[in-house]
Amino acid sequence: MSNFQNKKGPVIKQFIITPIATVDPPLLNAVGLHQPYALRTIVELITDDNISGISEIPGNIAIDAALESAKNLIIGMDPFNLNGIRQVLEAHFGTETAGQRGDMPWDQRKLVHIFSAIEVACLDIVGKITNRPVVDLLGGKMRDAVPFSAYLFYKYEGAGGELGHKIDPAASGWAAARQTKAVDPAGIVAQAKAMCAEFGFKSLKLKGGVFDPRLETDSIFALREAFGPDVPLRIDPNAAWTIETSIKYGLEMEGCLEYLEDPTKGQEGMAVVRKALKTPLATNMCTTSFGDIPSSIAIGSEDIILSDHHFWGGLRSSMELSKICQVFGRGLSMHSNSHLGISLAAMVHLGAALPKVPYALDTHYPWQSDEVITGGRFKFEDGSVAVPKGPGLGVILDKIALAKLHQNYLDCGITVRDDTTEMKKFNPDWKFETMRW
């Protein structure tokens, strides 16, 4: 028997779950207003050889409880055996259903969330054991740096966190601009200029579904005017528009958008809008799992799927999605939520492994000011992030920062994302409506 066969595989012996709260400014969207802190959960797996792997997922109290419930099933398993781990989690959580996603712009399914947290941490471990970056475990690096898009938001004045809707007068540059109110086309253009000056983005995405579509469409025209025809523009009304509104404003913006993201709700509605427009449609709301793909292809609900490894069941599943997109003529890009550097590192490894990246990926990263990795925040150069060097994800958990952000979580009292309740603090009559316009 060879030495290889004699070697006992590594075993996960510790599974540490740490909910954190990271400062988030008052950004507006179709369901309300970002709370002063965004919740993330950091997972750390440690092997019997004391090799640690980390990951970051969108957090809330239910996800943390689901992670906790999976802990004893995962302890004792081999981090190389991702297929076995997936099978154990499927048996534990049951098969996912489309209904579990919910109506909100963010996804609320458990199995894919939990598996992605464990898979990314296991790949970090496997990378450290084999002395290879995660991108190599996904099949190898196709590019050295991954392009991201500016992600513009209508917002109220404020820095978020303890400052809430107040601003820090000492802030300068992007840190100052990030606090500034933006509720009209001029405000969005100013925000875009400040963000691009800091990060060098070459594409612009506007989160819509907040104000009357007239004002939001005019914001896109103002961006076109300010940045010229060579800067790709996108708007994402988060399915707040009816089919008629989507077609009306979609036609107005024809020729001006790189793509129109989730103008309306559901695959059927999207298919109707798609037939009426030349502009490609993208989604992270109507085709959000492998189970949604057959109907998407049958009725033609979108041109571009915005993947997200947190919701598609990890990095390897996202690679599988890229193959399916290629087969069925779908473009592929990436969705994001408020996140820190561990998620960004995973997104960059995935983005570097994808066969093609025809669209700059989404990231909320400029809106966050905290970090949970050593060495500070990621640097963007010309809108792109270089693939981290070093084995695994190439980022190291900063235990002091983790403790501080966990204390934020305990102190802030937020246990679930609730943009609607946050919005009602400023406008008591406001309520969430699907397809408001």
- Residues labelled as active-site residues: 207, 335
Task: Round to whole Å and give the CA distance between 236 and 215.
Answer: 14
284 forms part of the interface with Mg ion (CB under 5 A): yes
**Residue 181 class from Cβ within 10 Å (0-12 exposed, 13-18 middle, 19+ buried)?**
middle
Residue with smaller CB distance to Mg ion, 42 or 282: 282
Q: Give the nearest distance from C-beta 266 to Mg ion in angstroms.
A: 14
Rounded-to-integer distance, Cα 258 and Cα 241, Å: 19
Nearer to Mg ion, 19 or 269 (CB): 269
Binding part of the chain for Mg ion, among 233-241, 314-322, 385-393, 426-434 by CB under 5 A, reads 233-241
**Among 122-130, 240-248, 281-289, 368-376, which window interacts with Mg ion (CB under 5 A)?**
281-289
Is 96 an interacting residue with respect to Mg ion (CB under 5 A)? Answer: no
The three state secondary structure string of 30-47 is: CCEECCCEEEEEEEEEEE
Q: Which stretch binds Mg ion (CB under 5 A): 87-95, 191-199, 234-242, 379-387?
A: 234-242
- C-beta closer to Mg ion: residue 105 or 314: 105
Give, in order, the Cα–Cα distances in Å from 369 to each of 68, 84, 239, 340, 377.
Answer: 28, 37, 29, 9, 8
Nearer to Mg ion, 119 or 262 (CB): 262
For residue 302, state whether it binds Mg ion (rule: CB under 5 A).
Answer: no
Please name the amino acid found at residue 78.
D
In the three-class reduction of DSSP (H, G, I as helix; E, B as strand; rest coil), residue 135 is classed as helix
Q: How far is the CB of 160 from Mg ion (least distance, A)?
A: 21
Q: Residues near 369 by Cβ (< 8 Å), separated by ≥ 6?
A: 23, 161, 175, 178
Q: How far apart are CB 105 and Mg ion at their closest, in Å? A: 6
110 vs 207 by CB, closer to Mg ion: 207
Which residue in 391, 397, 398, 378 sits closest to 146, CA to CA? 378
Q: Binding segment for Mg ion among 30-38, 218-226, 231-239, 310-318 (CB under 5 A)? A: 231-239
Please state, in angstroms and rounded to a whole number, the distance separating the CA atoms of residues 267 and 224. Answer: 29
State the nearest-atom distance from the C-beta of 293 to Mg ion, in Å.
18
236 binds Mg ion (CB under 5 A): yes
R_g (Cα) of the chain, nearest Å: 21
CA distance 166 to 373: 27
**258 touching Mg ion, by CB under 5 A:** no
Of residues 67 and 253, the one with the C-beta less far from Mg ion: 253
**Is residue 368 within the footprint of Mg ion (CB under 5 A)?**
no
Least CB distance from residue 80 to Mg ion, whole Å?
A: 34
Burial of 103 (0-12, 13-18, 19+ CB in 10 A): exposed
Q: How many chain residues interact with Mg ion (CB under 5 A)?
A: 2
**Nearest to 253, CA basis, from 230, 220, 286, 231:** 220
Is the Cβ of residue 179 or residue 301 nearer to Mg ion in the bound state?
301
- Which CB contacts under 8 angstroms, 24+ apart, belong to 247-251? 247/272, 247/273, 247/276, 247/277, 248/213, 249/213, 249/214, 249/216, 249/217, 250/276, 250/277, 250/279, 251/276, 251/277
The residue range among 107-115, 173-181, 228-236, 249-257 that interacts with Mg ion, by the rule CB under 5 A, is: 228-236
Q: Which is nearer to Mg ion, 114 or 282 (CB)?
A: 282
350 neighbors 322 (Cβ within 8 angstroms): no
Pattern 179-218, Mg ion, x by CB under 5 A: ----------------------------------------
**Minimum CB separation from Mg ion for residue 336, in Å?**
9
Nearer to Mg ion, 55 or 333 (CB): 333
Closest approach of Mg ion to the CB of residue 262, in Å: 5
User: CB 284 → Mg ion: shortest distance, Å?
Assistant: 4
| CB contact at 8 A, 277 and 302 | no
Q: What span, in angstroms and rounded, lies between the C-alpha atoms of 132 and 387?
A: 12
151, containing H or E segment: strand 150-153
Beta strands 145-147 and 52-58 are: unpaired
* Candidates 64-72, 92-100, 232-240, 322-330; binding stretch for Mg ion (CB under 5 A): 232-240
∠ Cα 395 145 52 (to 5°): 15
Assess 287 for contact with Mg ion (CB under 5 A): no
Least distance between Mg ion and beta carbon 239 (Å): 9
The binding site for Mg ion (CB under 5 A) comprises 236, 284
